[in-house]
């Protein structure tokens, strides 16, 4: 029987976060749920103990009858890891969430309700009063600038493209993530995450899927993986590429599901 919910968790050099117990609240939360689920970790070519630790966790959980899986890919960045997980997942609803659980998995209940109300895609929106913790002024300014750019260039009306907490009905996930062009072409080094969320949401709108935005809690987890100045520039370039690809008709050979 296919699970009701699939949870895709990309992992790149997450050994420290694993040992710090950042996954435990999510695992404990799932243990209390009555619906069927699978958890799919995607090891993005980690060079630390991530694969070893996740292999042990999956083996332990599967002894209890829970569906935990591990997929290892060559290092391709978050876009490649999430894409691999979304295409492999079997749930009726597929969620991807960050390994560090900056948005707690317990938020997923609101997303499942939105899907019951006919949403094809549900995205987390950070920034409501009391929702942001440990964020810095520089990050807030940078995030505001990027959101403004994205709304002008590609996604008017979308309040937060970059929150790493998004869910999709299975058919929408398969179509969108198999249609990525800008994100798929990226050559990645380090922990660069890119603007693949922008391309994902742009395609969701282009293909006629209903998107609902849901407020979520979010805590900044300190990390040294990313270049805080170089990455926003690269993300801006990717955003313009998405718009350019659309103008050039590169996405047009994928039919709109609303007309099928």
Share the mean pLDDT of the chain: 86
Place of tokens 């922008």: 198
CATH number of 5-254: 3.90.550.10
Q: Is residue 95 scored above 90 in pLDDT?
A: yes
Range of 155-164, 183-192, 248-257 with top mean pLDDT: 155-164
- At residue 65 the predicted structure's pLDDT band, cuts being 50, 70 and 90, is confident
Range of 64-73, 82-91, 223-232 with top mean pLDDT: 82-91
Q: Over the stretch 118-143, which tens digit does the pLDDT of each residue have?
A: 999 999 998 754 445 555 555 666 66
Q: Look at residue 98 in the predicted model and tell me its pLDDT.
A: 96
- Which residues, 6+ apart, have CB-to-CB distance to 250 below 8 Å? 181
For residue 186, give Cα distances in angstroms to 29, 76, 101, 194.
Answer: 35, 8, 25, 9
Q: How far is CA 179 from the centre of its chain?
A: 16
Looking at the DSSP bridge assignments, the partners of residue 28 are none
- At residue 24 the predicted structure's pLDDT band, cuts being 50, 70 and 90, is very high
Determine how many CB atoms are found less than 10 A away from the CB of residue 109.
11
Q: Is residue 258 scored above 50 in pLDDT?
A: no
Closest by Cα among 69, 58, 61, 4 to 35: 4
For residue 176, give Cα distances in angstroms to 48, 94, 106, 195, 215.
Answer: 31, 12, 25, 15, 23
Rounded average pLDDT over 184-197:
67
Burial (CB < 10 A; 0-12, 13-18, 19+), residue 242, is buried
- Which residues, 6+ apart, have CB-to-CB distance to 56 below 8 Å? none
């Amino acid at each position: 029987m296919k699970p009701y919910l699939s949870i895709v968790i990309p992992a790149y050099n997450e050994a420290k976060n694993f040992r710090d117990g950042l996954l435990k609240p999510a695992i404990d939360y799932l243990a209390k749920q009555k619906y069927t689920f699978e958890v799919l970790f995607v090891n993005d070519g980690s060079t630390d103990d991530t694969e070893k630790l996740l292999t042990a966790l999956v083996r332990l959980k599967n002894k209890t009858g829970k569906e935990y899986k591990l997929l290892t890919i060559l290092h391709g960045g978050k876009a490649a890891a999430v894409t691999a997980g979304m295409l492999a997942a079997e749930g009726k609803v597929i969620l991807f969430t960050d390994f560090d659980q900056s948005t707690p998995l317990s938020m997923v209940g609101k997303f499942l309700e939105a899907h019951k109300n006919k949403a094809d895609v549900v995205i987390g929106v950070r920034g409501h009063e009391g929702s942001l913790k440990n964020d810095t002024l520089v990050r807030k300014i940078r995030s505001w600038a990027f959101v403004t750019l994205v709304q002008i260039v590609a996604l008017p009306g979308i309040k937060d493209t970059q929150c790493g907490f998004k869910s999709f009905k299975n058919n929408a996930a398969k179509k969108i993530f198999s249609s990525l062009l800008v994100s798929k072409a990226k050559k990645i080094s380090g922990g660069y995450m890119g603007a693949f969320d922008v391309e994902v949401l742009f395609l969701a709108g282009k293909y006629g899927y209903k998107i609902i935005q849901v407020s979520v809690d979010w805590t900044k987890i300190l990390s040294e993986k990313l270049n805080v100045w170089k990455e926003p520039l690269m993300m801006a370039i990717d955003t313009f590429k998405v718009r350019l690809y659309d103008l050039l008709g590169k996405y047009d050979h994928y039919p709109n599901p609303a007309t099928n």
